[in-house]
Structure 1
Amino acid sequence: MIGDLAGAAGHTPARLEGRLPLIGGLILIAAVLVGAFFSWRFVESERARELQQWQVRLGLVADSRAAAVEQWLDDRRGTLRDLVENASVQLYLTELSLARDGGGRAGGAGAESEYLANLLEVVAERDGYTAPVVGPRVNANVARVGQAGLGLTDADGNLLVATRDMPPMTTALREAMARAAGGEAAFVDIHENAAGNLSLGFVLPVFAVQESAAGSRVVGFAVGLRLLGDGFFRLLDQPGETAESAETFLVRKDGAMIVYLTPLRDGTPAMKRRLAADSADLAAARLVADRGGFTLTRRYDGTPVLATGRALAGAPWYLVRMIARDEALAAVEQRLDTILIVLFASIIGVAIAIFAVWRHGSSVRAHAMAGDYRAMAERLEEYSDFLRIVTDRQPTAIAVVDGEDRFTFANAGAAAGAGIGQEDMIGMRLRQVIGPVMARDIEETNAAVRGDGHARTVTRRIAAEENDDGSGERIVLREHRPLGESAQKRGRILIVEHDITELVVERERREQVMRDLVSTLVTLVDRRDPFSADQSRRVVEVAAAIATELEVDETTAQTIDIAARLMNLGKLLVPSNLLTKLGALDDDEKQLIRDSILQTGDLLAGLDFRLPVVETLREVQEHWDGTGYPNGREGERILIAARIIAVANAFVGMVSPRAYRSGMDFSTACDVLSANGGRRFDRRVVSALVYVLENRGGRERWAYFSEPPKLIAHLPE
């Protein structure tokens, strides 16, 4: 059979070979995905490069159109600049202003006004600051409204002289004058005039020829209004334009809206389209917010576009140049789609070829592997039979349950204990096989193991009435183990039950013999020292109460019980006349009695208690601060059992009468112990004793400790 096990190990490479198709398939899929990814990356890089080129093209057009518009504005502003820089105009305007205020000469004011009016008419005709008048030119009671003109005002904005068709002074003009009063040119933005036509204007300050000591340098303003005209809109047309969807227009932000200042390709007139400025996918809104740049968003009608923008100098306008995305990228998208299809087709073709070659090779191997699998199945059947024979020969009950506590395996021992066939147990629940009462404990332990994945060992006494076979009380040890990490997820638990009744009974018998021996030895000691009669039992009782209060483990509790009972065994080596001496003991005699505890440890050193009994007895005289003996141990280095016995022994010794003194009262003894806490004794142990006395009925229960032995009760205290 060992040879069969070794042979089974030889099939490990075969199992690995069986996984090769899966591994190869995964590698092939990974290669296809990697190839597809890099193909996509190549296409995307080409698309990004094309977008970069379009950004450059659109930017060149936008820069040229922006320069044309800025030049147009500068030329129109230059008309007024020439006027305000003309020395004659400055002089005449200063004199007219002084004459109107009464502070200058009045003579010749009419001639000067006529001169300025003629000058303004000539400049207006030359530079386009004229427009048809709305209304008849004949004398009639019908108001005639001018649309364009040039004018000069004083510093307060009062019109001094103007062309004959100069429009009236509007709020927008006066606001522009207020801005120009600071010495800089002001701009009247595009608006609809009274005739419904688009116009714009400029305001420039006129400075005095010689600054007055008392007045402002600005003595007036040159004002110009003109129609926008189709010539302005043609500035936005790109010479040689061939793209059908390309367009260039001007926008401005007006509060929460984007206003389209120029006509649009879809036929919308100038100033007739307004859209929300917070539209995230609106190209004009995005470019205004970013003060230019490049974006792939949507046109005013929702068409996806490539757009770029420029902020213009001299006006609160933004020039937007855009083209429909479909038209701009149509050729490159078709080319990139073709490249992508060819690359994908090549990758798939190579993958198919590799798969075909692999499939042919794997089909050849499959026939050989099928034979190996059949042989392996036969071997596995043999192993299964072998394992069943081995488990059935075990003296323990072995079973496996699933996540619902249904049996998936049971050996002969488990079946015999349940009184049912092995095959019949498979698929049945625990409570169906062994009953709900006995199954409850097992199911709870299984649930705990599934909860944290940690194995558990449980010892349980089964009463005679719970055994159906009438075998009397049984003691069983059950081990519950999860079957590996993956099995733990499915909740499978291996249960092994050992019947340890004979072992426990034998151990209890030995323990009883030990207790009887200890009692005999203690009785022998008590007979030699009648004043210390029952001291060992009292120390055991007090130490056990302290141990319970401190919640020590079972091993420590057993150690305390045995060591406390045997601690006075060393008094067998102390002369009896010293133990019964009625007078006070000198220091040497006291030390001899104290050392009897160490001698107890020496007497018991050769016995195997399977507990640290001897070590505990040798550390009872150690002090918490390290001043004790024999080894000068301190603090937590002293066994907890020794610390508890030391406090209990000191307490019993103080409250119990001796041949040479009477016993202390409990309160005085507690004060002495507390005073030595942290020096001789562990404060925690002393506190536990005080708590037992005050809150656990210790004073009442141990009150008899202060009574002298009956045979010497007649002695004075």
Structure 2
Amino acid sequence: MAQNMTPQPVDIATVGTTQKRSRLVAFGVGTLIVAVALVSFWAYKEVRSTEVKLEERLSDRAKILVDDRVAAVDTQVNGLKNAASRLLEAPMFTFFAAEVNNYKGDIGVLIAPEKRDNGAAPADKDALDKLMDNVPLMVVTLRDFCQGEGFVAGRIVNAQGNTYLSTMATTPALSDAEQRRVASVVETGKAVVSPVYTSSFGLVHDLVLPIFPPAFETQARPVSVLLLTKAVTGKNNLSELVQTTTVAGEGFAVKFIQKITDGYEKLELGSGSLSKVAAPAGITEDTLPFGVRLSVGGGEDVYSAGRRIPGTDWWIVQERSYLASRIDYHEAVQRIIILAVLASLVLALVVSVFWWRLVGKEQEEIAGQFRDLCGVIGDQKQLLDGINGTIKDPISMTDETGVYRYVNKAFGLAVSRSPEEVEGLDTKAVFGFDTAKRLRISDQKIIDGADSVTIDETIWLQSKRHFFQISKAGLKDEEGKLTGIVSVFRDITAQVEAQERGSRMVQQTIHALVRAIEASDPFLGGHSRIMGQIAVGIAKTLGLSNRDVATVEAAASLSQIGKMFVPREVLTKPGALTEDEKKIMEQHVEYAREVLKDIEFELPVLEAVYQMNERLDGEGYPQKLTGEQIGMPARVLAVANAFTAMARPRSYRAAIPVEKALSILKEDSSDYDASVVSALGKVLQTPEGERIVAQAAASQAL
């Protein structure tokens, strides 16, 4: 019994080794958990970032498409308003409307002579005879205008809503809605665009405009109203405008809806019919913010955004299928997960190696476990090699001489060879001499010690141009020696081509706006062209950057766009303007800003146009900027604009000679930049400058 009670000796070395091993195991497991957690956090952030970027790209594209179509419809509506306004400003219409307004009898006989009451008082009879004598000419004029501008019908009614001129053989009475629109125009004196509705002409909408009495009469309210009816379907009409765009749609579908008294209606662009729909979720007074919601009219969930067309109850909505939009996102998520798994395995390997070195080679048991772990990792590497073959981005590894040691399946597909055929070839054999030479430049940076290099490269594959973003990193051994260069090729052709289309769209927008200026007022268009030639010459003489020269050229073309909205009697008044008229004239800057603010020029065009009327001494408008607060493009435009105005003849004066115009600008040194005025003088001494001056002097006076 005593022997059984004797304590057994404890092997202190064994206990210490066990405790040390336990601590190393805990350290290794903890390090691995932290590493996997960091990789998981990175993967989560990348997935979230990818989703945010997807929705930002879709939002930007939807906004561009909406703005493009809204601008097209708004331009047509304003063009029709302007054309109709010019017709209604003709004396024959204003005088006739005033005479009808003063006539106290039944004006219905003007379109139904058979109802004429021959027993009327002599004074009424004479007035009626005078009116009826003018009716045929007025009807022909109105009918010719409607045919020329694409309206299917037109009628003129008095302030009480009674029709007295019409292009229709049989003129129906005004509906309640038409009566309300007529009353609104008479009350406010402002034009109204009606919702789309069904009529005997099919789907149409009305343009309702006020007719004011002649200027010498004291009455300020409209005396009559012009109703113009325009078909919605057909060439150059609303349906075609909504479906046509200068911007690539990238899977977006356009929807046209309108707000009515009791909700919303959708115009079916294909069949040309109207149907009631629920209000889109989140819609406000003027916008439908970008987001995920049910498609207009029901069906699937979509990404959509929209905007109301100014001055109407019409809305343009762009939609793209939610599921179709997220296909690329799901593929990106798959790649991120694969990379995260790969990174986790690599980290596991690194931690295992570090752990093995701490424990020591003499511990056979741990060494055996490490060999088992390496075997597992080898099996998992084979699995990852299989997964890597499914990644769509081409991946390669070259040695320091540019010979390919490994390429994935996507790389082989890109160069039309199998991975086995590519391995062993150098970059010259795969891509050709010139491309290989450019790629070797970035390889050399890695060889010289750079951790990573990212380049954008154009490569022709299978007779097609591709834009690649190539990321390169060095692969090093445990001693830090470079053993290879890993390259990941990301095809960004779609993004680059989208940017190029965006630049072309901006140029098309500028040309469209310039054509709108010329169509509205040829004098303003001529002023813009001459001013642009002078401004570009000044900018180049001053040695401004290519970006500033492009800004000056675009801003000069659009500098007069705000004056399209200034009353013509103020714009063309000879002599000095009154203080009130100056305030009206200065509003053209705000009009220009409203027209241009939503256009993405990629240049400070809006800033230049908005500042060109500022003066160095702070006496300009609209912000009273001084000195260096005014950008150089705006200073160039200010001098070019002032000189062009003096160099062109006006109805009340001849063109001012060049020497005198330059003298005036030099004297106004507190207004204009002296260096810009000096550059103008140099431009005018060149043959091109002399040609521009001759062109300005020969232009038609306003």
TM-score (norm 2): 0.43
Larger Rg: 1
TM-score (norm 1): 0.42
